[in-house]
Structure 1
Amino acid sequence: MNHPRRIVGGRPLLLTLALSSLLTLGAIAARGDEPPVPKATPIEPIGDIVRVHPDFDKLVPKEARIERLATGFEWSEGPVYDRINQCVYFSDIPNNAVMKWKEGEGLSRFLFPSGYTGDQTRGGESGSNGLLLDRENRLVLCQHGDRRIARLNDDGKTFTTLADRYENKRFNSPNDGVFKSNGDLYFTDPPYGLEKQTEDPARELDFQGVYKVTPDGTVTLLTRALSRPNGIAFSPDETILYVANSDPQRAIWMAYDVNEDGTLANGRVFADVTEMVGRFKGLPDGLKVDIHGNLFATGPGGVHVYSPDGKLLGRIDPGNATANCAFGDDGSTLYITSDMDFCRIRLNTKGHGF
């Protein structure tokens, strides 16, 4: 049996099979006792690499192995690589914490609380999800519990709200984001961080949106057409925006043309893996793009690697439901959050703007 607290594609696992089911995670008090840091484990190979097309070998060496760096998390998510401090930050959503992993130092807790900073105990997926670094290398968090996009202040404890409302209505629970080169932040807002997700009385928006927020705080709704918008990334030239939809009934990645004013047009299905749901662990979730425009997109069966024209090249499968990924080191290491595990794999390509 699957543990009922495991989350797949940003939702409790049971909801991937029955969206009508309501599953609340254990209650979390933001300022209660901090959860323990998982114990260090030896680096070891795990999972499988599935080679579908010969071009996959140009990106993933034949000798490449998936390495588990740490384990014991409730649900690891949202990794980002800090080039200045040479470390990776990632969320452990149910534990309301951001973890830090650095070569030679291993694992430590970087931030608690990370996504819900209230004083009242609450349930649901309350921690931070997607993490980003802005132009000044400050940590920006998609905070489920606080239902906002926030920046960690220099004191390492408090936050500045970047966006928490659209048309004076609170967001559902910002999930993942990507910065455009002009400083605009594009992000998704599914309901996974709400305590009840479908009929939560605290919910103020009756749709799941994709938005952008400018540096001056102006929020623009880009589309409300997706049922569960999740991971998000730009093509290297920023003319295309990719968005994952983590709905088991429509498990797809969308591609949108980006207009000069930053709005979206010509939405179309880039890839559809609905037929894989249930046969493999996971759903379309986080995604990143390499310097050649190839997509590294988490979904059923691990990280799916697609060419820019939508051709599946192969999969990097850690063996558990895979939430997200991020390029790091010199750009040629892909760090992967996969359920209770934190992993990496060495590549022949490099990430764009990692």
Structure 2
Amino acid sequence: MPQTPSVYEIHDDRFRHLIVPSSELEELYSGCRWAEGPVWFADLNCLVWSDIPNERMLRWADDTVSVFRSPSNFTNGNTRDRQGRLVSCEHGSRRVTRTEIDGSITVLASSFEGKRLNSPNDVVVRSDGSVWFTDPTYGIMSDYEGYRAEPEQATRNVYRLDPATGQLDAVVTDFGQPNGLAFSPDESILYVADSSSSHDVNAPRHIRAFDIIDGRSLGNGRVFCNIDNGLPDGFRIDVHGNIWTSAGDGVHCFGPEGKLLGKILVPQTVANLTFGGPRKNRLFITASRSLYAVYTATNGNSLA
């Protein structure tokens, strides 16, 4: 019997301790136009993710997929806050919203300095309740993932929303197209992807790192890693500080110092991923049309 090719590429021996070689990549669902924004609900033992062009959000639980929300305002990235509420980036409405426990929607941010946001893309919540999100122009570039419009913001920023005052601050303003973002396990570093090579072959395809100063601002910006196939979109961090990022040929894993440790090869272009399952050792991957999953030998960071 011919041997099934491995989905793993080992670039550093450390990667061998992060994977389960016998764990196969499973396709859990297919039928999306562009799958994005996976978020795990441990209390409900389910995954919710976005299918942006179809303007819907889907729910996976017990190997069954159902519609979670439709229409979705072309929702892209999702996360949960410390109270378990869903926080989402909506391309269509160009805002960041929070779904309350009773199902009502609260608008967290829709403008900056009196002008509409571009199209919020991805979002994370720090332990102090502050909401950090990216605002590239993907949702207003065409009518495919939102509504075509001219940007009102002069730059494509990373923002911090203060949980107490509602004040919105642009903490980084020099990105081409800021995309996925995540905190280090101790919340001392914020990592942000620049995916501007999606429309400019000469643009960066890297993840940058920033030191968090007093929980409010960023400093010491530097390139953390470069992607050698495709570009970085969404990513997550495990309990050891390794970054697991989307790429053109699958999921790339980088050590805390920025060295490529290995890859999980995926048949479709990966957009985003998250750790889930009862022990957060299952990697759920949104890739083009499908939702995939694979078990790992590490666990997701609770703050990712």
Return the TM-score normalized by structure 1: 0.78
Report if aligned partners of 2:87, 2:123 keep a CA contact under 8 Å in 1: no
> Could you tell me how far apart the structure 2 residues matched to 1:221 and 1:349 are?
34
Matched with 1:319 is 267
Matched with 2:200 is none
4+ residue stretches of structure 1 with deviation over 3 A?
Answer: 153-156
Q: Among residues 51, 59, 72, which one is paired with 1:92 in the alignment?
A: 51
Report the Cα offset of residue 136 of structure 1. Answer: 2.0
Matched with 1:121 is none
Report the Cα offset of residue 50 of structure 1. Answer: 1.4
Q: Which amino acid aligns with 2:262?
A: G
Matched with 2:159 is 211
Instruction: Note if 1:351 corresponds to 2:300.
Output: yes
Instruction: Note if 1:187 corresponds to 2:136.
Output: no
Which runs of structure 2 are paired with 1:1-354 in the superposition (5 Å)? 48-104=7-63, 106-114=64-72, 116=73, 127-156=74-103, 158-196=104-142, 201-216=149-164, 217-248=166-197, 249-273=203-227, 276=228, 280=229, 282-329=230-277, 330-353=279-302
Q: Which amino acid aligns with 1:319?
A: P
Q: Which amino acid aligns with 1:339?
A: S
Q: How many matched pairs?
A: 289
> Could you tell me how far apart the structure 2 residues matched to 1:295 and 1:103 are?
28
Structure 2 counterpart SS, 1:193: helix
> Could you tell me how far apart the structure 2 residues matched to 1:93 and 1:342 are?
13
Report if aligned partners of 1:48, 1:319 keep a CA contact under 8 Å in 2: no
Matched with 1:119 is none
> Could you tell me how far apart the structure 1 residues matched to 2:6 and 2:274 are?
18
Structure 1 counterpart SS, 2:8: strand
Q: What is the root-mean-square deviation in Å for CA atoms of aligned residues?
A: 1.7
Report the Cα offset of residue 247 of structure 1. Answer: 1.8
> Could you tell me how far apart the structure 1 residues matched to 2:118 and 2:214 are?
28
Q: Which amino acid aligns with 2:183?
A: F
Q: Which amino acid aligns with 2:50?
A: S
Q: Which amino acid aligns with 1:295?
A: I
Structure 1 counterpart SS, 2:26: strand
> Could you tell me how far apart the structure 2 residues matched to 1:155 and 1:260 are?
34
Unaligned runs of 5+ in 1: 1-44, 117-126
Report the Cα offset of residue 300 of structure 1. Answer: 2.6
Unaligned runs of 5+ in 2: 198-202
Return the TM-score normalized by structure 2: 0.91
Deviations 1:187-211 (CA, angstroms, capped at 9, x unpaired): 10000111449xx654210210001
Q: Which amino acid aligns with 1:223?
A: V
Q: Which amino acid aligns with 2:44?
A: N
> Could you tell me how far apart the structure 2 residues matched to 1:255 and 1:299 are?
18
Deviations 1:88-135 (CA, angstroms, capped at 9, x unpaired): 00000001111000124x100001111x2xxxxxxxxxx101111122
> Could you tell me how far apart the structure 1 residues matched to 2:43 and 2:136 are?
31
Deviations 1:263-283 (CA, angstroms, capped at 9, x unpaired): 00010000112xx3xxx4x42
